[in-house]
Amino acid sequence: MLPINRDKVLPGARRDGRAEEPVYPDPDSLDALRDSIDRKLGRTGAVLPLSEAEQRVLLELMPDELLRVTVETDETVLVVGRQRRVRVPAGPDAGQSTCGGHPGDSTAALYRAVGDCGKQLLSDFLATGEMQTRDLRVEEDGQTSFFELRAAACQPRGMLVLVRDTTPLRDAVDCLSQATEKSKRLHEMLEAEAVIRAEEEKIIKSSFEKLAGLKEDTIVAVTAIVRKKDPDTARHQERVSQLACSIGKEMGLDKDTVKMVALAALLHDLGKVFVSPSTLLKPGRLTPEEMDEVRKHADTEFEILKGIEFLSPLAEIIHQHHERLDGSGYPRGLTGSDILLEARILAVADVVEAMMSDRPHRRALTEAAALEEIENTRGTLFDTSTVDACLRLFREGRFRFDVTPPDECPGPSRQPGSPASG
């Protein structure tokens, strides 16, 4: 049996140790709580009929999924969520849950795993009075998923468990780590070949072409991970890459520089994967704290990319893409020529695409209105020659979003392992 420390139950919970359903107040009295939950989560918080105590707990946490876990008097653990309920028996039948799922059902597997550790979570909370955090690994049908659990009791035998899927973040870290190791081995091979057989220039040239292909393969793989976590950010990056590449060509830049700008654009919002969805998808004006959270993405992606040798040239371009000529940008407030040309091109492409796309807090501007807006800031916020090139492309009908870009422009349409363009 679980030890019950009656002093550790959260305010509003029962203290008589009885395992019964929470007592719900009149629905009208919960309107303010529900409004607060909706604002904080950026989506409805009414995924379950919650008691007042449970809703107050929910306000302190940011879940991807909300589960109610109850340890019944016979030690059976009941896990209830918006998709189903799972009952995990105690004793010799432990692990033989009833849920109505089927083999390969990842949701049922998650519920069972939460049920398996439910007693320990509740016991630890009642013993310490502190919110419990666990990392959970779930194996189902050959697939491995990772979750972060945060749990707090609302009654002596029941608690809320808030689940955050951390699988995409782990995938991103693993992908970047593998790419770093591949790059290191390839560089070691190139150095050995250069010392031993410097005369065989064709072999060395071929090896460097493989390295260039590895760079693009890695970027394509990372954009695929971003697309899985945040499709809107991935689409924005791809469209910005198309425009930045075309602007670079219009300015007469060499192929290597054009490709560098396009690759940087494909990763320029990577750091937003780590920004809370409730902030990114908020329909109204952001608070100063939320704006600070969004602005941190430039530093986050810089820290990730600068440690990867063959991606480090892109890191500084991406770090500067929110800088402005007059010093009003971030994160460092650079001015004029202190901002890299590639970053100035990326800045124009980023803003134009954003203005022409729907966002949670506003509708898209027309092409004419967006071009007028960027033209009005020509030479003050944005680079003059870059803005002029952008305006020519649109007004002369030589660029439209989502049309096949020039060969110099890499992108997600090129599958990993295919020959590098240019």
pLDDT band at 368 (very low <50, low <70, confident <90, very high): very high
Residue type, 111: Y
- Pair 61, 156 in one domain: yes
pLDDT band at 22 (very low <50, low <70, confident <90, very high): very low
Does pLDDT of 133 surpass 50? yes
Instruction: Give the pLDDT score at 45.
Output: 44
- Pair 31, 159 in one domain: yes
249 contacts 258 by C-beta, under 8 angstroms: yes
Instruction: Give the pLDDT score at 419.
Output: 34
226 contacts 236 by C-beta, under 8 angstroms: no
Across 296-313, average pLDDT: 79
Does pLDDT of 248 surpass 50? yes
Q: Is residue 407 part of a domain?
A: no
For residue range 331-359, list pLDDT tens digits in order.
999 999 999 999 999 999 999 999 999 88
Residue type, 186: L
- Pair 12, 149 in one domain: yes
Q: What residues contact residue 192 under an 8 Å CB cut-off, 6+ apart?
A: none
Instruction: Give the pLDDT score at 104.
Output: 56
Domain boundary among 165, 182, 203: 165
Q: Is residue 420 part of a domain?
A: no
Across 102-119, average pLDDT: 81
Distance CA 125, CA 311 (A): 44
DSSP secondary structure letters along 295-326: HTHHHHHHHHHHTSGGGHHHHHHHHTTT--TB
Domain boundary among 165, 191, 220: 165
Angle, to 10 degrees, between the axis of helix 255-267 and the axis of helix 231-250?
160
Across 84-94, average pLDDT: 74
State the average pLDDT for the chain: 77
Instruction: Give the pLDDT score at 353.
Output: 95
- Pair 280, 384 in one domain: yes
- Pair 126, 246 in one domain: no
For residue range 157-173, list pLDDT tens digits in order.
888 898 888 888 788 87
For residue range 257-282, list pLDDT tens digits in order.
998 999 899 888 887 877 777 777 78
- Pair 156, 288 in one domain: no
Does pLDDT of 322 surpass 90? yes
Domain boundary among 140, 165, 190: 165
Q: Is residue 210 part of a domain?
A: no
- Pair 362, 238 in one domain: yes
User: What is the CATH classification number for the domain harbouring 296?
Assistant: 1.10.3210.10
Domain count, the chain: 2
Q: Is residue 403 part of a domain?
A: no
- Pair 77, 153 in one domain: yes
CA atoms within 13 A on the CB side of 163: 24
Range with top average pLDDT, 90-94, 179-183, 339-343: 339-343
CA atoms within 13 A on the CB side of 107: 16
Buried b (16+ CB within 10 A) or exposed e, 330-350: eeeebeeeebbbbbbbbbbbb
Q: Is residue 414 part of a domain?
A: no
- Pair 12, 155 in one domain: yes
Across 112-128, average pLDDT: 89
- Pair 156, 239 in one domain: no
Q: Is residue 214 part of a domain?
A: no
Does pLDDT of 3 surpass 50? no
Angle, to 10 degrees, between the axis of helix 201-229 and the axis of helix 167-196?
170
Does pLDDT of 408 surpass 50? yes
Q: Is residue 28 part of a domain?
A: yes
Which CA distances in Å does 147 have to 46, 62, 135, 239, 284? 22, 13, 6, 32, 30
Report which of residues 336 and 25 the model is more confident about: 336
Lookup result for tokens 């002596």 = 156
Q: Is residue 134 part of a domain?
A: yes
Across 376-400, average pLDDT: 96
237 contacts 267 by C-beta, under 8 angstroms: yes
- Pair 147, 236 in one domain: no
- Pair 274, 161 in one domain: no
Distance CA 358, CA 362 (A): 6
Does pLDDT of 25 surpass 50? no
- Which structural domain range is residue 84 located in? 6-165
Instruction: Give the pLDDT score at 209.
Output: 57
For residue range 36-71, list pLDDT tens digits in order.
656 555 444 445 566 777 666 655 555 677 889 999
166 contacts 136 by C-beta, under 8 angstroms: no
